[in-house]
Structure 1
Amino acid sequence: MAAPTKFDTIAHAVVEAVGGKDNINSATHCATRLRLTLKDRDKADKAKVESTKGVITVVESGGQFQIVIGNDVSRVFESVVANEGVSGEGGNASGGIGARLIDLVTSIFTPFLWVLAGTGLLKAFLATAVAFNGDIATTNTYAIFYAAADATFQFLPIFLAVTAAKKFKANQWVSIAIAGALIYSQTVALDALGGVTLYAWAGAGESLDFFGIPVIMPAYLSAVIPVILAVYVQSKFEIVLDKVLHSSIRNFVSPMVTVGVIVPATFIVIGPISDWLGTMLSEGVNWVWGLSPLVGGAILGGLWQVFVIFGLHWGFVPFMVQDLSTQGYSLLTGPLFAAVLAQGAAAAAVFIKTKNKDLKGVAGPAAISGIIAGITEPAIYGVTLRLKKPFIYGVIGGAIGGAIAASGGSAAEGFVLPGLITLTAAINIGNFTLQLIGTGLAMVIAFTLTLVLGFKDIPEEEEAVGDEAFDELDVEVGAPVEGTVIPLAEVADPAFASGALGHGAGIMPTSGTIVAPVDGEVITAMPHAYGIRTKGGLEVLVHIGIDTVKLEGKHFEPKVKQGDHVSRGDVLCEADIAALGAANFDTTTLVIVTNTKEGNHVTMSTDAKVGGADYLLTVVR
């Protein structure tokens, strides 16, 4: 049996930290994030996930628990599915309509993102070659390379059919057949139409009908919306067929009937409506851009990385791809080079200026990844956003540079991740000189502001110790609340009483004021539970009541948030103990030391009653 790889180790640690595979509905991933749909969010230990070596940070957005890993996310995802037994089919995110739309877009587009980006990069290289020598575009070699680069985008409906079928739980092969029929209409000549395609026949003004019903034939190569809607309708139609068809004929009659119904329905209704909708979206973007490209470029250039933080940037993908399919470029892509490279430049300045060796070790590779390849999440979460000011400097540079690039109508021809190696994708659209000026100025502004105005550096000794056990001498832990002390083995919750979650004690509270039992950083902040890590790495959990997670924050008034630094005795939360008791909840408040090594032990106070912050436990190395 092969030894586990580092990706297997990360995958296992993450799955365990979010409550095990039984707490995961489904998993998927995008360029840098492992996206989990959890059954019970409260079973997930965000701080433990973030402390896993190889994890950059955790973002909760779009109804998903998103774990930012970086360029190796696909390998971690593979291990999560193959070795941890988690479903990789994707799932439905919880939340409002916005969250569900973002989830829909990420589920459908991210599985083939790297292929789309890679072939887009190849087109960018070809554009660079033609810019230096126009005769290259007339050679057979160029034609073959261009076919390789352009095929993915031209046959995009096939890719979309596969991922949409997984998302909507439709028959994948039937979905491909439907998408194939759409592409067929524009690529294969028919003798019945005089040796031309359906698309060419309709485009020449000839009458095209289906049993007398007029058919409008838009272009389906590169189309996005038609195939997604067609597969969605297919998934609903198949449910009906599964109910009415006998099992003896279902396997071959269902595909026959589905293709025979959905393809004509798409040509007659779904396709024309989708084409009209897509055209309106594309024209809408161009109209808004036409009002003030400077303002549009400044907004998108400045806020793009903010959108990335919350995963909202995926909401722009359908607009961009639709623009690419209708006009060959998207104006929305013009300001993004400035936005992305500015964050990379800010990270580069941090690399030069910081005296923290660990931070320097993160900032260098993150800057290279952001500037060269356009992957900025390691730079954002590991460096600029962590230090706050460099992120702001990057936003300022992105806004100014984005405005300049947009003012010249710059845009990328293909779907590329905006970075230095893909910059030439914008060489043929708009004013490329202004694109270079805008992007260059964005980098200079972000780099200079970070280097000159600086930031609050992270001292070496204040670095978190991750998931290692504590490295202090004997540590005294105070009581988080006034009340009567209860040995841990006697509390009503079996998981806590067994000591499986750590050693400690319980307190039957007489007050609702919950205070910090130790000095340290708040690493977990839920209404009913708070985790604190001391400077030496000891981790202490304060859990208010038994099963109080079910109240979803009712009767609790938090006074701190994750990332805050507290001193022993500082108020963490005000809890309505009387209301908890009236609702039939056990109010026992638990104090658990969660990361003691084997050989260490926890001693408990012999006092029957304690006051808030009074001595309760001693952790002995």
Structure 2
Amino acid sequence: MSRRKVNENDGLLQDCKCAVLKGVGGEENVQSLVHCATRLRFVIKDDAKVDKVAVKATPGVIATAEAGGQYQVVIGNEVPEVFAEITKISKLGGTSASDGRAAQDGPKGNLVNRFIAMISAIFTPLVWALAGTGLLKAFLAAAVTFAWIDNTTTTYTILNALSDAFINFLPLALAITAAKYFNASQFTSLAIAGSFVYPSIVALNGVPGITFFGIPVTMVSYVSSVIPIIVIVWLQSHGERFLYAALPAAIRRFVTPMIIVIILVPLTFLVIGPLSNLISTGLAGGIGWVFTVVPWLGGAIMGGLWQVFVIFGLHWGFVPLMTAELQSTGLIYITAPLFAAVLAQAAAVAGVWVRTRNSNLKSLAAPATLSGFLAGITEPAIYGVNLPLKRPFVFGIVGGVLGGALISAGGVAANAFVLPSLLALPALFGTGNTVMLILGLLVAIIVPFGLTVILGFKDPVNEVAAVVDGTDLEVLSPLDGTAVALSEVPDAVFAGGDLGKGVAIIPRVGALYAPFDALVVAAFPTGHAIGLQHADGADVLIHVGIDTVKLGGKYFSLKVEKGQQVKAGDLLLEFDIKAITTAGYDITTPVIITNPKKYPTIGSPAAGPVAHGDPLFLAIAEEELATAK
């Protein structure tokens, strides 16, 4: 069953999940369910209740197998979708083999890359809602600006709530995704996040003299905040593991959430809040002094770093400075360069929209561009596009630095407390040098847009590999070892070619390299399998060993992450051959084309000793076969 069919025929997906679950004897006959790269792996209670003929005959099921105490249903590339559908209609599917504990088994690399990967993973399920509500906010702001709707009416109040509620209560949404990422209890995470935005707690923001059991508390706003809830859920995940191990089984389920909430929420208010306030207040005071002495430098700092401050929740410390400046002078000089910061990120995501050939990325970049420019809502752009791609985010910072410096050098200030956007530009008119304002805004837009379009980024589609004869794909050996026929693999599904054609390798060195320029479409935290996609659509699965998913990542060290672009010869994975074989697992590694309808056969298969980078086989495209005939 191809991915195209799954997407276009939801009925087939529905039939598959229902028939498979019924065929294994129903939910009550399943002890556990996980999935790996290609298979649903059931642990069955009563084997006699399994209708194996019916399961194997189910549309979408490629084959079935029984090994290692599991009943394995081979689905192929669509196994995550089928697994997700089964979890919707049952209570099965705790932790899949592809959804391991990201906090522990996530991508390796420097701290910046790991932080970006974490933020991207946590925000990915939210970006469409952020983009949609942000776009609604932009349209509503435009309607008010052009007097199409009166912002004093109840109609406006309702529409504003619809567009503003999601980002206002963002900590609640992040609690769910962060809990999934760190393997914490989602509902306990929601209880923590709920306290952050609880009305009476929100009302305490800025109120002096607050104490907790006599301890002074500096209460700050957690509305729309990002970092506090992520940090606390990470702490929660560690606390829960400790408490579940330490507490008696009879009380752990209700005592653990109580202890977690009563410790971590006050910890946030007592430590994270004051620390955030101290840092942001210090930054605000220092930058305020710079604006007084060297305005262009203050503009460059605010234009370049404002979105970074927003990511870490440090922007709240500037609000008192802004309001105080407005009250004393009637103007806010520190706000003017923020327009450059916001428009620069919007321009960068517009560049992604123009340049990318990835349809999903393009469809996300479009509304993110509009909401960024019109309403100043940059969260969809930053978290959904620019930050994961890295380079557009940096280009946005460059544009913000240059544009902010020009705007502040011109002595431009805001005459009202506004959210920076194109629709709020009238707040900047009438102060300072108008030419410098326009020049700064143009630079803030043109520079990141141009850099993104011209210099580009790691587009999942743009970085292509060479294709032999325009259609066929030469797959290089990803391992040093001995190439053997796929039929020699000690697994009936692989050996029978049910998942596709290819060659197997018995590795002699525990290092796996990219067999061609590719997009990493599956990088399992367990490290046992990696899925790669060539720019022409070829999907290749490299499965290190047989049933090695059961090792849970032990003896594997993943070097790449899902969504990463790699070049032929890049190191993807390291593994300990001796330890894996000592543990009783066969290390034979199939390398197969998993979309056999497009590549129904292979040519020139290697046999005998091979080194990584040597030709392994030629994947022959369907079009080439038709031409030959």
TM-score norm. by structure 2 comes to: 0.50
Secondary structure of the structure 1 residue equivalent to 2:597: coil
2:444 corresponds to which residue? Answer: 442
Paired residue for 2:495? Answer: 497
Q: Which of 403, 406, 412 in structure 1 is aligned with 2:405?
A: 403
Summarize deviations over 1:348-369 as a string: whole Å, max 9, x none.
8x67xxxxxx959999978754
1:521 paired to 2:532: no
| Counterpart in the other structure of 1:597 | 597
User: Take 2:442 and 2:170, find their aligned partners in 1: how far apart are those partners?
Assistant: 35
The equivalent residue for 1:282 is 280
Instruction: Describe how 1:145-224 pairs up with structure 2 within 5 A.
Output: 145=156, 149=160, 160=171, 164=175, 167=179, 169=185, 183-184=199-200
**Which whole-Å CA distance do the structure 2 matches of 1:319 and 1:210 have between them?**
24
C-alpha spacing 1:602/1:436, structure 2 compared with 1 (3 Å): same
Structure 1 CA distance for aligned equivalents of residues 85 and 428 of structure 2 = 40
Alpha carbons of structure 1 residues 600 and 165: separation in structure 2 relative to 1, 3 Å: closer
- Per-residue CA deviations over 1:365-407 (Å, capped at 9, x if unaligned) read 787545422254799689x979x8x998766544311333466
Residue 152 of structure 2 is aligned with which of 124, 132, 141? 141
Aligned counterpart, 1:488: 486
Q: Structure 1: give runs of 5+ residues left out of the alignment.
A: 24-47, 53-66, 68-77, 188-197, 308-312, 352-357, 566-570
Secondary structure of 1:141 counterpart: coil
1:385-404 equivalences under 5 Å are 396-404=398-406
- Looking at structure 1, the residues matched to 363 and 132 of structure 2 have their Cα atoms a distance apart, in angstroms, of 23
Cα distance, 1:316 vs structure 2: 2.0
Aligned residue type for 1:320: H
Q: Which residue is 1:320 aligned to?
A: 315
Corresponding residue number in structure 1 for 2:53: none
1:33 corresponds to: none
1:99-498 to 2 correspondences below 5 Å: 117=134, 121=138, 128=145, 141=152, 145=156, 149=160, 160=171, 164=175, 167=179, 169=185, 183-184=199-200, 276-290=274-288, 291=290, 294-295=296-297, 297-298=299-300, 301=303, 316-321=311-316, 323-324=318-319, 333-344=338-349, 346=351, 359=357, 369=367, 371-374=369-372, 376=381, 396-405=398-407, 408=412, 413=417, 420=422, 423-424=424-425, 436-446=438-448, 486-492=484-490, 496-498=494-496
The answer to whether the 8 A contact 2:483-2:503 is kept is yes
Contact 2:482 2:505 in 1 (8 A): yes
Count of matched residue pairs: 499
C-alpha offsets along residues 152-208 of structure 1, whole Å, 9 cap, x if unaligned? 98999977578659957466897699668x744897xxxxxxxxxx999x87x9xx9
Aligned partners of 2:477 and 2:352: how far apart in 1?
42
Is the 2:300–2:404 Cα contact (8 Å) retained in structure 1? yes
Give unpaired runs (5+ residues) of structure 2. 17-33, 43-75, 324-331, 373-379
**Whole-angstrom CA distance in 2 between matches of 1:105 and 1:530:** 20
Q: What secondary structure is seen at the aligned counterpart in 2 of 1:486?
A: strand
Deviation at residue 279 of structure 1 after TM alignment? 3.5
Moved more, 522-531 or 590-599: 522-531
Between the aligned partners of 1:335 and 1:80, the Cα distance in structure 2 is 47
Cα deviation for residue 326 of structure 1 reads 8.6
Partner Cα distance (1:221, 1:482) in 2: 53
- Change in Cα spacing, 1:303 to 1:511, as seen in structure 2 (3 Å) is same
How far did residue 123 of structure 1 move? 8.6
Task: Give, as a single letter, the amino acid of the residue that structure 2 aligns with 1:342.
Answer: A
Check whether the contact 1:485–1:507 (CA below 8 A) recurs between aligned residues.
Answer: yes
CA shift in 2, pair 1:505/1:553, >3 Å: same
Q: CA deviation at 1:107?
A: 6.0
- Conservation of the 8 A alpha-carbon contact between 1:465 and 1:537: no
- One-letter amino acid of the structure 1 residue matched with residue 489 of structure 2: V
Aligned-residue sequence identity (percent) comes to 22
Give 3-state SS (helix, strand or coil) of 1:595's partner: coil
2:465 and 2:517 in contact (8 A); partners too: no
Cα deviation, 1:306-325, whole Å, max 9, x if unaligned, reads: x9xxxxx5972522356558
8 Å contact from structure 2 (residues 277, 314) kept in 1: no
- Does residue 1:93 correspond to 2:103, yes or no? yes
Match of 2:61 in 1: none
C-alpha distance after superposition, 1:454-491 (max 9, x if no partner)? 989x9x9997899xxx9977878777778765332223
Q: Which amino acid aligns with 2:343?
A: A
Q: Per the alignment, do residues 427 and 289 of structure 1 end up closer, same or farther by CA in structure 2, a change over 3 Å counting?
A: same
Distance 2:599 2:231 in 1: 62
Question: 1:286 Cα shift?
Answer: 0.9
CA distance in 1: counterparts of 2:486 and 2:8, whole angstroms: 36
In 1, Cα distance between equivalents of 2:140 and 2:37: 41
Question: In the alignment, is the contact (CA less than 8 A) between 2:514 and 2:572 conserved in 1?
Answer: no
Following superposition, the deviation at residue 340 of structure 1 comes to 1.8
Q: Per the alignment, do residues 479 and 563 of structure 1 end up closer, same or farther by CA in structure 2, a change over 3 Å counting?
A: closer
Aligned twin of 2:556: 552
**CA RMSD between the two structures:** 7.5
Deviations 1:184-242 (A, max 9, x none): 4897xxxxxxxxxx999x87x9xx9999x6987968796969996999899989x89x9
Residue matched to 2:21? none
* Higher RCO structure, 1 or 2 (CA under 8 Å, sep 6+): 2
Q: Indicate how the Cα distance of structure 1 residues 289 and 563 shifts in structure 2: closer, same or farther if over 3 A, else same.
A: same
CA contact (8 A) 1:504 1:592 kept: yes
CA distance, structure 2, for counterparts of residue 223 and residue 361 of structure 1 = 29
Distance 2:205 2:535 in 1: 69
AA of the residue aligned to 1:402: G
Mark the CA change 1:515 to 1:406 in structure 2 (over 3 Å): closer, same or farther. Answer: same
In the alignment, the residues of structure 1 paired with residue 302 and residue 37 of structure 2 have an alpha-carbon distance, to the nearest angstrom, of 34
1:335 touches 1:406 (CA, 8 Å); kept in 2? Answer: no
> Are the aligned partners of 1:507 and 1:588 in contact in 2 as well (CA < 8 Å)?
yes
Task: Give the conservation status (yes or no) of the 8 Å contact 1:343–1:379.
Answer: no
Shift of residue 339, structure 1, vs aligned partner: 1.8
The SS at the match of 1:93 is helix
Question: How far 1:506 moved relative to its partner?
Answer: 3.3
3-state DSSP class of the match of 1:596? coil
Q: Is contact 1:404-1:435 (8 Å) kept?
A: yes
The verdict on how the C-alpha distance between 1:405 and 1:583 changes in structure 2, with shifts beyond 3 A counting, is: same
Q: Distance in 2 between matches of 1:172 and 1:482?
A: 46
Post-superposition offset of 1:583: 7.2
The answer to whether the 8 A contact 1:297-1:335 is kept is no
Deviation at 1:419, TM superposition (A): 5.5
Counterparts of residues 9-24 of structure 1 (less than 5 Å): none
Q: What letter matches 1:337 in structure 2?
A: V
- Shift in alpha-carbon separation, 1:227–1:143, aligned structure 2, 3 A: farther
Residue 194 (structure 1) aligns with? none
Match of 1:193 in 2: none
Assess, with a 3 A threshold, how the Cα gap between structure 1 residues 118 and 320 changes in structure 2: closer, same or farther.
farther
**Which one of the candidate residues 564, 573, 580 is aligned to 2:567?**
564
Deviation at 1:438, TM superposition (A): 2.2
CA shift for structure 1 position 343: 1.9
Aligned to 2:327: none
